[in-house]
Protein backbone atom coordinates (compact mmCIF):
# COMPACT_ATOMS: atom_id res chain seq x y z
CA UNK A 1 0.00 0.00 0.00
CA UNK A 2 1.36 3.35 -0.99
CA UNK A 3 -0.15 6.30 0.85
CA UNK A 4 0.80 9.63 -0.58
CA UNK A 5 -0.22 12.95 0.90
CA UNK A 6 -0.86 15.76 -1.47
CA UNK A 7 -0.94 19.23 0.05
CA UNK A 8 -4.28 20.98 -0.09
CA UNK A 9 -4.11 23.60 -2.78
CA UNK A 10 -6.35 26.58 -3.24
CA UNK A 11 -6.76 27.58 -6.85
CA UNK A 12 -5.19 30.97 -7.41
CA UNK A 13 -7.34 33.40 -9.25
CA UNK A 14 -7.69 37.14 -9.36
CA UNK A 15 -10.34 37.24 -6.63
CA UNK A 16 -8.27 35.15 -4.21
CA UNK A 17 -5.17 37.24 -4.91
CA UNK A 18 -7.07 40.49 -4.34
CA UNK A 19 -8.57 39.14 -1.12
CA UNK A 20 -5.15 38.03 0.12
CA UNK A 21 -3.61 41.41 -0.70
CA UNK A 22 -6.40 43.18 1.20
CA UNK A 23 -5.96 40.85 4.17
CA UNK A 24 -2.19 41.41 4.12
CA UNK A 25 -2.73 45.17 4.08
CA UNK A 26 -5.12 44.93 7.04
CA UNK A 27 -2.62 42.80 8.95
CA UNK A 28 0.16 45.32 8.24
CA UNK A 29 -2.01 48.12 9.65
CA UNK A 30 -2.86 46.06 12.72
CA UNK A 31 0.82 45.21 13.18
CA UNK A 32 1.75 48.91 13.08
CA UNK A 33 -0.94 49.71 15.65
CA UNK A 34 0.32 46.93 17.92
CA UNK A 35 3.93 48.13 17.53
CA UNK A 36 2.86 51.64 18.56
CA UNK A 37 0.87 50.30 21.51
CA UNK A 38 3.82 48.19 22.64
CA UNK A 39 6.17 51.18 22.38
CA UNK A 40 3.79 53.30 24.50
CA UNK A 41 3.52 50.51 27.07
CA UNK A 42 7.31 50.16 27.23
CA UNK A 43 7.69 53.93 27.72
CA UNK A 44 5.04 53.87 30.46
CA UNK A 45 6.77 50.95 32.16
CA UNK A 46 10.13 52.71 32.02
CA UNK A 47 8.55 55.85 33.46
CA UNK A 48 6.98 53.87 36.30
CA UNK A 49 10.30 52.19 37.06
CA UNK A 50 12.00 55.59 37.25
CA UNK A 51 9.24 56.95 39.51
CA UNK A 52 9.53 53.91 41.78
CA UNK A 53 13.30 54.29 41.96
CA UNK A 54 12.96 57.98 42.84
CA UNK A 55 10.37 57.17 45.50
CA UNK A 56 12.70 54.56 47.03
CA UNK A 57 15.60 57.04 47.04
CA UNK A 58 13.34 59.64 48.66
CA UNK A 59 12.33 57.18 51.40
CA UNK A 60 15.97 56.20 51.97
CA UNK A 61 17.00 59.85 52.23
CA UNK A 62 14.15 60.60 54.64
CA UNK A 63 15.10 57.61 56.80
CA UNK A 64 18.79 58.59 56.75
CA UNK A 65 17.95 62.17 57.78
CA UNK A 66 15.97 60.87 60.77
CA UNK A 67 18.95 58.77 61.86
CA UNK A 68 21.34 61.70 61.64
68 secondary structure, DSSP code? -
Q: Is the pTM of this model over 0.85?
A: no
Per-residue model confidence (pLDDT) at position 14:
75
- In this structure, are residues 16 and 10 in contact, taking their beta carbons and an 8 Å threshold? yes
Per-residue model confidence (pLDDT) at position 12:
64
Mean pLDDT is highest, among 1-5, 6-10, 33-37, for 33-37
- Is the per-residue pLDDT at 13 higher than 90? no
pLDDT in tens, 26-68: 999 999 999 999 999 999 999 999 999 999 999 999 999 988 7
Amino acid sequence: MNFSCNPFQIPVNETNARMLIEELSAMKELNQELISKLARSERDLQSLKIQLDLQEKKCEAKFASKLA
